[in-house]
Structures are given as structure tokens and as C-alpha cells.
Amino acid sequence: MNPNSLPYTWLMFDADGTLFDYDAAEMAAVAQTFAVYHLPYNAHYGERYRQINHTFWQRFERRDVTLAELRVGRFRQLFDELGTAVDLEGFAHSYLVQLAAQSQLFPEAVALIRQLHGRYRLALITNGLADVQRPRLEQSGLRPYFEAVIVSDEVGVGKPDPAIFEVAFARMGQPPKERVLIIGDGLTSDMQGGISFGIDTCWLNMNGKTANGLPITYEINRLSDLIELLEK
């Protein structure tokens, strides 16, 4: 039994936007890929890509596009807008290579995970491509702390679909749902997924957003707040 007052034995973390600074990784990877292709680049291109990419991931969550379609489609839209002809398959592949080399974490992430490890069992559940997420996790130094790592690309379905949570719980040894807390920044993926699956949710809201009526269990504004929440 967990010695703390809250009943959780498993903590299930999202990766990007929760532990990993995905915005920094994304911007670096986009700029580096433009350089590989000897294309002119400015920050506006990166920001527009971020917007397009976000929309594609929302469509993936709704199962409107597949990961294969997302992988290339986001760059097709970007370069159509820029009026630039480029080898889309090649560019998309090069971008993933660059992104896989980006393992920037939020400043509090390492200390938090180390502090929780041994007191709770830890799982990671992420929407993403395996050849990107797996290397980033290894390079970050966090991989040894997680007993279970679930990547949507390997499962064939992503958050918020209950099917990815079924896979996660199977790998976690089928703990009681009331013993599991999911922590993430995504309302439509992490929070909606947890709610639909019937587990408690902890929303990492670092940007002052609103929950849009979702019945979230807890809300924190920075990673370090999680320790206080679990111990109160």
C-alpha cells in the first residue's frame, strides 16, 4: 500500500508537453531539417508548422488521419502554403531523424521522476512515432524509471482511445483503476482518455488554459506541484 494519503500505486505520465519540452524540440528539428535541404528558414515557418502539426495530431486523436498520413501531410500543407517544391517523403524522414535527436526535458522533470521512483510504479503513455519517441526517451536518461512504456505507433491507436489504455493496463499487470493516476498536459488526449477509461486525472496546465467543462480530478500548474498534491 502506498504510504501517502492518496490511493495511487501507479502514476501514468504523458511524454511531450509534460516531461519533455516538445515545443523546443520541434522548433530545433524543423530549423535543422530546413538546413539539411538548404532551404531558407525563418521563425514564422516553424510557428506555422507547429500550428499545422497540432491540427494533424488533433485529427489523429479523432481517428480522422493515420500516423502515416500525418507524417507527410503536415509538411505537404506547410510547403503548399510556402509555395515551395520539396521531396516530401525525404523531408518528413529527415525531420523525424532530427526530432529523434531532441531530448529536451522541462527543468523539473528529472528530479520529479527520481523522487517518485520507488514510491510509485511509473508508466509512460505517448502519442507518437516509435522511431522518434524511443530514442528521445533513452537519450533523456528517464527510461530506467518506467516499468511500462506505451507508444501509439506501436499499438496502432492513440489517446484518447480506450484501446491504448487497455494495452497499458495489460503491461502494468492490470492494477485496479482506482490505484492509477494519469498526469498530462493534453485535454483531448490525456485528460479525455483518462476520463473515458475511468481513471483519475491530473492536468498539468502551465499556460492558464480552461478545462472546457471536463471533470478533471486534479489540476497543477507546474510539475513540482505533483509532489505536494500526492503528499497532502
Written in H, E and C, the secondary structure of the chain is: CCCCCCCCCEEEECCECCCECHHHHHHHHHHHHHHHCCCCCCHHHHHHHHHHHHHHHHHHHCCCCCHHHHHHHHHHHHHHHHCCCCCHHHHHHHHHHHHHCCCCECCCHHHHHHHHECCEEEEEEECCCHHHHHHHHHHHCCHHHCCEEEEHHHHCCCCCCHHHHHHHHHHCCCCCHHHEEEEECCHHHHHHHHHHHCCEEEEECCCCCCCCCCCCCEEECCCCHHHHHHHC
For residue 69, the Cα-to-chain-centroid distance in whole angstroms is: 19
The pLDDT tens digits of the residues spanning 125-182 come to 999 999 999 999 999 999 999 999 999 999 999 999 999 999 999 999 999 999 999 9
Question: Of 70, 108, 75, 67, which is closest to residue 91 (Cα–Cα)?
Answer: 75
- Does residue 5 lie in a domain region? no
pLDDT of 2 above 80: no
Place of cell 510509485: 120
The pLDDT tens digits of the residues spanning 56-101 come to 999 999 999 998 999 999 999 999 999 999 999 999 999 999 999 9
pLDDT at residue 108, rounded to an integer: 95
**Confidence at 196, pLDDT banded by 50, 70, 90:** very high
pLDDT of 6 above 90: no
- Does residue 165 lie in a domain region? yes
The answer to whether residues 120 and 223 belong to one domain is yes
Q: How far apart are CA 64 and CA 53, in angstroms?
A: 14
Identify residue 164 by its one-letter amino acid code.
I
Mean pLDDT in the chain?
95
DSSP letters spanning 187-206: IIIIIHHHHHHT-EEEEE-T
The answer to whether residues 208 and 128 belong to one domain is yes
- Does residue 202 lie in a domain region? yes
The answer to whether residues 72 and 144 belong to one domain is no
The answer to whether residues 108 and 88 belong to one domain is no
The answer to whether residues 165 and 140 belong to one domain is yes
The pLDDT tens digits of the residues spanning 36-50 come to 999 999 999 999 999
What residues does 121 pair with on adjacent strands? 10
**Domain at 61, CATH number:** 1.10.150.240
pLDDT at residue 231, rounded to an integer: 87
**Confidence at 3, pLDDT banded by 50, 70, 90:** very low
The answer to whether residues 125 and 208 belong to one domain is yes
Residue 50 domain boundaries = 23-100
Domain boundary among 100, 128, 163: 100
The answer to whether residues 74 and 178 belong to one domain is no
- State percent of the chain over pLDDT 70: 98
Q: Which residues contact 78 (CB under 8 A, 6 or more apart)?
A: 45, 48, 49, 52
- Does residue 169 lie in a domain region? yes
Q: How far apart are CA 19 and CA 137, in angstroms?
A: 10
- Does residue 4 lie in a domain region? no
Catalytically active residues, by annotation: 14
